Amino acid sequence: MTRLLITGDWQLRTSPPANRMDDFYEVQKGKVLQVFEIAQREECDFILVPGDFFDNPSPGIRLLIDYIRLINHPWPFKILACFGQHDLYMHNPDYSTGPLSLLQHACDKVYIAGSDSSARTPWVNTPVCKLFPIDSAFVEADPGGTTMSDMARAASSGQCAFYGLSYGDPRMGKFEAWTDDLFNILLIHDMIGPEELFPGQEIDSPEQAFKAYPTFDLIVCGDYHYSFVYKEKGVLRVINAGCLVRKTVHWRDQQLRPAAYVFDTKSGSLERFELQFAPPEKVFREVERGATAEIGDDLVELMSTIDDVDLSYEDIIRAMVEQEVAGIGKSAGEVILKLLEETLDAYRAEGLRGSLPKGEAVS
């Protein structure tokens, strides 16, 4: 039996997002601390972070020191993560560099799933102390005991194998678990969600993801910022816990209720733990609303989800042309250009783009 605490994108950062008026740095750290305390209280073996651990690949020395200290506290769990595009320099899938790799070296509890240089193989856990490489897998074996018997013991005790598909991994869509003897879990950073976030977005549905990776018992997704749970015949198959913090004034972020999920691999039970957070009006500066508000929301959504920052104005305008721009009383082109400039300015300003709650069963 393994108990997992499932989170989404953390996107840790030093500077506050545009329009946040609270002490964002401390609020963000408080969210992570809540996650750790829930994992400890619920006796979780692992916390899963499916990419975008950081908001950009140069998060700053202060942030790295603070989180290395926090993670190196004697917590009873390990952290498994994969890389998102925000963790990588210029979105380049060189998994050996960047702050997440540094964190793995600085913190004994942090492991990067699927980033091993020898074919990016899975982590496998048994209820003991450390992870060791054995053939094509990583087995959590007794100290000093790195033999195939450890693998056999892991399989016979119903333990988990953790695989990772980080952003840019060429095996996206064509990746299989190497054994069906273990409970196979895939951490993946890819755009998977129940609906498009802007017109023309390339996105796979949770059902498509499940069909694309049929050898996995559970798929834990990042990149899509909003939570969803997908079950096949009543069995949990695909999950995204949603972004840990709210970043924009878009209505989706206004409605976001940060949460984490606890999943028990033996019983199949899933509980949702909503984190403590302030109402939007206490967090975001009041934004002037008017006839162009909906279009502005869509532009903020678009800019927060595109993977490539070198899109031209024309590309973005073309993506927005299907929005409700007719009948707004002035040239749709002028409105979109004005909102686009404001949105880009906001992103440039960012640099780059008491008691804990009780869990509730997820049916």
Residue 40: inside a domain:
yes
Mean pLDDT of 38-64: 95
Distance (Å) of CA 151 to CA 95, 125, 135, 323: 26, 9, 10, 54
CATH number at residue 127: 3.60.21.10
- Total domain count, the chain: 2
How far apart are the C-alpha atoms of 109 and 361, rounded to whole Å?
Answer: 28
Q: What is the mean pLDDT of the chain?
A: 76
Q: What is the DSSP letter of 357?
A: P
Residue 284: inside a domain:
no
Same domain, 116 and 211: yes
Same domain, 110 and 257: yes
Residue 308: inside a domain:
yes
Contact between 121 and 137 under an 8 Å Cβ cutoff? The reply is yes
Mean pLDDT of 190-205: 91
- For residue 324, report the phi and psi dihedrals to the nearest 5 degrees: -80, 80
Same domain, 294 and 261: no
pLDDT greater than 80 at residue 183: yes
pTM of structure: 0.76
How far apart are the C-alpha atoms of 198 and 167, rounded to whole Å?
Answer: 20
Q: Which long-range contacts (CB under 8 A, 24 or more apart) does 356-360 make?
A: 356/34, 356/37, 356/38, 356/41, 356/273, 356/276, 357/273, 357/274, 357/275, 357/276, 358/273, 359/38, 359/42, 359/262, 359/271, 359/272, 359/273, 360/271, 360/272, 360/273, 360/274
Same domain, 29 and 73: yes
Residue 171: inside a domain:
yes
pLDDT greater than 80 at residue 219: yes
Residue 164's pLDDT is: 87
The size of the chain, in residues, is: 363
How far apart are the C-alpha atoms of 132 and 194, rounded to whole Å?
Answer: 37
Q: Does the CA dihedral 249-253-254-258 come out positive or negative? A: negative
Where is mean pLDDT largest: 18-22, 231-235, 247-251? 231-235
* Residue 121: pLDDT band with limits 50, 70, 90: very low
Same domain, 213 and 111: yes
Residue 132's pLDDT is: 41
Same domain, 59 and 155: yes
Same domain, 256 and 150: yes
Tokens 């997908």 identify what position?
Answer: 230
If one counts every other C-beta atom within 10 angstroms of the C-beta of residue 187, the result is: 28
Same domain, 270 and 327: no
pLDDT tens digits, one per residue of 34-44: 999 999 999 99
How far apart are the C-alpha atoms of 240 and 226, rounded to whole Å?
Answer: 7
Residue 182: inside a domain:
yes
If one counts every other C-beta atom within 10 angstroms of the C-beta of residue 231, the result is: 16
Residue 139's pLDDT is: 44
Residue 38's pLDDT is: 98
Same domain, 174 and 124: yes
Residue 283: inside a domain:
no
Residue 281's pLDDT is: 85
- For residue 229, report the phi and psi dihedrals to the nearest 5 degrees: -130, 125
Same domain, 343 and 356: no
Same domain, 326 and 356: no
Residue 63's pLDDT is: 96
Contacts with 224 (C-beta within 8 Å, 6 or more apart), sequence order:
8, 191, 192, 193, 197, 203, 240
Same domain, 272 and 331: no
pLDDT greater than 90 at residue 230: yes
Residue 59: inside a domain:
yes
Q: Does the CA dihedral 30-35-37-38 come out positive or negative? A: positive
Residue 285: inside a domain:
no
Could you list the residue range(s) of the whole structural domain that residue 111 is in? 3-278+352-361
